[in-house]
């Protein structure tokens, strides 16, 4: 297993919610990363952010790890959930709430409802 794959595997399996993104949760560096980080931040989710721009091996490694070509990538309890479009759809449909509930991830339900109201 390569160093990048080992690092990714350890991060994904040791942290309940991980977002591999361009930039950081406080300073996203692309619109798609900003959207997903914004949803998680607004919902008050405790998550780790991994800036793929800081390490080219991680940037390519996460694409190989998930067999998914784009960034950002969200993982919950070791499982790949999806990228920006999937997270947006899951947020608006309530599926993200269900995923968090089923996995014991704490989040602000009222904030999730407000996102849906604003986009309804």
Beta-carbon-side half-sphere exposure of residue 100 (alpha carbons within 13 Å): 22
Closest CA to 87 of 17, 13, 3: 17
pLDDT digits (tens, 9 = 90+) for 59-118: 999 999 999 999 999 999 999 999 999 999 999 999 999 999 999 999 999 999 999 999
In degrees, rounded to 5, the angle at the alpha carbon of residue 65 between the alpha carbons of residues 8 and 105 is: 60
pTM of the complete model beyond 0.85: yes
Domain-by-domain residue ranges, the chain?
3-112
With beta carbons less than 8 A apart as the criterion, state whether 21 and 51 touch: yes
Superfamily of domain 3-112 in the CATH hierarchy: Glutaredoxin (3.40.30.10)
């Amino acid at each position: 297993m390569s160093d990048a794959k080992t690092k990714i595997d350890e991060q994904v399996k040791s942290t309940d919610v991980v977002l591999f993104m361009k930039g950081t949760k406080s300073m996203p560096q692309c619109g798609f990363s900003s959207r997903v980080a914004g949803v998680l931040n607004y919902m008050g989710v405790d998550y780790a952010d991994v800036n793929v721009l800081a390490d080219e091996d991680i940037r390519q490694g996460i694409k190989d790890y998930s067999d998914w070509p784009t960034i950002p990538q969200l993982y919950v309890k070791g499982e790949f959930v999806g990228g920006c479009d999937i997270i947006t759809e899951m947020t608006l449909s309530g599926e993200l709430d269900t995923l968090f509930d089923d996995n014991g991830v704490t989040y602000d339900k009222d904030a999730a409802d407000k996102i849906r109201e604003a986009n309804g």
